[in-house]
Every structure is written in C-alpha cells, then in structure tokens.
Amino acid sequence: MNTAEAAAEAGQVLAASSNVLNVIAAFAGGLIVVALLIWAVRLGVKVKEAESPPPRPEEQPRLPETGPVHEEREMREPNEVPHTSEEGVRIDPHNLDPSGSKRGEDQTRPRWSSGSGGSGRK
C-alpha cells in the first residue's frame, strides 16, 4: 500500500468518525432539549398546584342591595393652559391642573343635524 492510498483511507476513517460524532452530538442535544421540556412541564404543574383554587359560587361578588351601579355621563371641556406674564418664563407641570379637562358649562348632548352627513358642515 502506498502513502497516497493510506492517506485516502485515513481521510475516510476520519470523515466517518466525524459523522459519528455529529450524530452523537445531535442525539445528546435532543436529549437535553427533551429533559428541559420535561422539567418545565413539571415546574408548571407544581406552580398550578400551589395556586389557590377558583372562588366557589358563594364567594362570587354580589350586586349591591340598591341594585346595579350605573355610569354617569357628562360633557367635558379642556382646561386652558395658563399664560405667563413674562416672556421666556416656563410653566412647570406642578403649576398645571391635575386633570386635563373639567366639567363643561353646557351639559346638553350634541345632536345629529339632518343633512350634515356627519362632517359637521351643512
């Protein structure tokens, strides 16, 4: 056997052993992934068992004695931004009202005008 044939045969053995190592590495990686998935499911089951059970029917919220609470509608207007007396003076957030709107003077609901088409123009 000459050196060229021996080198070719050694290369084939090396390639075959590399393929075997790749298969073993892929199999080991798959086992690790499966083990992590099993651990995650078991952890989830333990957490679910530690939670309190859902409320029983007698523990459910009840309506007040006076009946259901209704929402309140009101027309709101934006607050005016205060003007400063001097040019270049900044208004800080603590100088503004806490709410961006206030109760409107006119509490009548705007009605649909026939022929306006919803755009507000006649």
Helices of type H across 1-122:
3-50
Do 79 and 97 meet the contact criterion of CB atoms below 8 Å apart?
Answer: yes
pTM assigned to the model: 0.37
CA distance 46 to 34: 19
Contacts of 100 by beta carbon, 8 Å cutoff, 6+ apart: 78, 79
Contacts of 5 by beta carbon, 8 Å cutoff, 6+ apart: none
Which amino acid does the sequence have at 17? S
CA distance 114 to 122: 9
For residue 12, tell me if it sits in a domain: yes
Residue 104 pLDDT: 82
Summarize pLDDT for 101-111 with one digit per residue, the tens. Answer: 888 888 887 77
Residue 6 pLDDT: 65
- Weakly modelled stretches of the chain, pLDDT under 70: 1, 3-16, 115-122
Residue 122 pLDDT: 47
For residue 102, tell me if it sits in a domain: no
For residue 66, tell me if it sits in a domain: no
Number of domains in the chain: 1
For residue 28, tell me if it sits in a domain: yes
For residue 76, tell me if it sits in a domain: no
For residue 27, tell me if it sits in a domain: yes
Domain holding 24, by residue range, is 3-52
For residue 84, tell me if it sits in a domain: no
